[in-house]
Amino acid sequence: MKLKFVHIIIYFSLGYSNFIAMNNGARSLGMGNTFIPLENNSESVFYNPAGIAMNNQLILLGSHQKLYNLNDLYNDMMVISIPTPLFRTGFAIKQTRLLNVYKEQIVYLSFASIVRIKNIPLRFGSSIKFSSVKVQNYESANNPSNYDIDLGFLADITNNLFISYSMQNILQPSFKFISISEKIKSIHRLGLCYNWRKSVNFVTDYVFTDFNDGQWNLGSEIWFFNVFAARIGMYADKLTIGFGLKTNNWLIDAAILSNEKLGSTYRISMGIHFDKFFKEK
């Protein structure tokens, strides 16, 4: 257990200051951490804000993640998506906290809408983010914070084929912890989804930074009677699996990401869907 604890501290120092391992919801993790916006999926706020333009329901979603099987490490998020007229609105907060040691938090305010170009729906959206870091019990450490912006686009190529693009961390804010200032990299995500018979989604995305170090993620899900979903994916060289269960008013998603060195990550999301407020025209 102590060895795992040392590993996780190293992981925080090298990766978590880039806000890249936070909880973005269980559905996407179950499909290899791939994401392309799908209808009534409030997780779009974190990956591609254009996706909330597809939401016709008021959705409240919360998620908890047990990262690498450590009891003192909390990784949670909450998001609400509102189908306001003319454009859709999203508000979210997610947080990673190592008890009495370290805390990261990002607050999102998102907007999205739709235009049609030659009968092709083109959705676009943006998120304004406020990111903050707090290091506890270390006198010389700063507690930096900064603002940032995400942009996203989503187009229907056909009734079954969708393509999306998003750019995260456009402003590339810097965070100074002690004496070294670290700049957050911009992340680009190009995704493609094929929907077969309205019950199977095949999803892939290519994620890369300004430094051209890219990664392919693959995933799929199959829905049975539009109530139960089975999911599987590949995230880098790691296998992910998950499932979903939903009714007209609530949903539950769960996913597991395997890691031989640090242990598996378990993520569960629970949400409430209210009746449809608006229909996309």
Helix (H, G, I), strand (E, B) or coil at 95: strand
Instruction: Give Cβ neighbours of residue 123 (< 8 Å, ≥ 6 apart).
Output: 37, 50, 51, 53, 54, 112, 113, 114, 153, 154, 155
Per-residue pLDDT at 112 = 95
What span, in angstroms and rounded, lies between the C-alpha atoms of 221 and 242?
9
Quick: pLDDT tens for 42-89: 888 998 999 999 888 899 999 998 777 677 777 899 999 999 988 999
Cα 48 to chain centroid, rounded: 8
In a domain, 129, yes or no: yes
Is there a domain that residue 281 lies in? Answer: no
**Cβ 242 vs Cβ 254: under 8 Å:** yes
Residue 140 main-chain phi, psi, to 5 deg: -85, 0
Q: Looking at the domain assignment, is residue 197 inside a domain?
A: yes
**Per-residue tokens: 38:** 């799908």
> Is residue 181 domain-resident?
yes
- CA atoms of 38 and 35, how far apart (whole Å): 9
d(CA 6, CA 137): 17
Q: Rounded to whole angstroms, how far apart are CA atoms 273 and 276?
A: 9
Phi, psi of 244 (to 5 degrees): -140, 150
How confident is the model at residue 139, as a pLDDT?
64
221 lies in some domain: yes
Token reading at 277? 């407020």
Question: Scanning the structure block, which residue is given the tokens 């998001």?
Answer: 79
The answer as to whether 25 is a domain residue is yes
Q: What is the torsion angle, in degrees rounded to the nearest 10, for the CA atoms of residue 163, residue 55, residue 20 and residue 96?
A: -170
* Confidence (pLDDT) at 201: 93
β-bridge mates for residue 75, sequence order? 65, 96
Q: Which two tokens stand for residue 231?
A: 């999911």
Domain, as residue range, for 92: 2-276
CATH code of 101's domain: 2.40.160.60
Cα separations (Å) of 97 from 39, 48, 255, 268, 274? 31, 24, 20, 17, 31
d(CA 107, CA 114): 24
Instruction: Give the count of domains, the chain.
Output: 1
- What gap in Å lies between CA 51 and CA 43, rounded to an integer? 8
Query: What type of residue sits at position 220?
Result: S
34's CB contacts (< 8 A; 6+ apart) are 28, 191, 203, 204, 205, 217, 218, 219, 233, 235
- Does residue 180 sit within a domain? yes
Please identify every stretch of the chain with a pLDDT value under 70, giving residue numbers as ranges: 1-22, 37, 39-40, 69, 137-141, 177-179, 210-212, 275-281
Instruction: Return the pLDDT at 13.
Output: 40
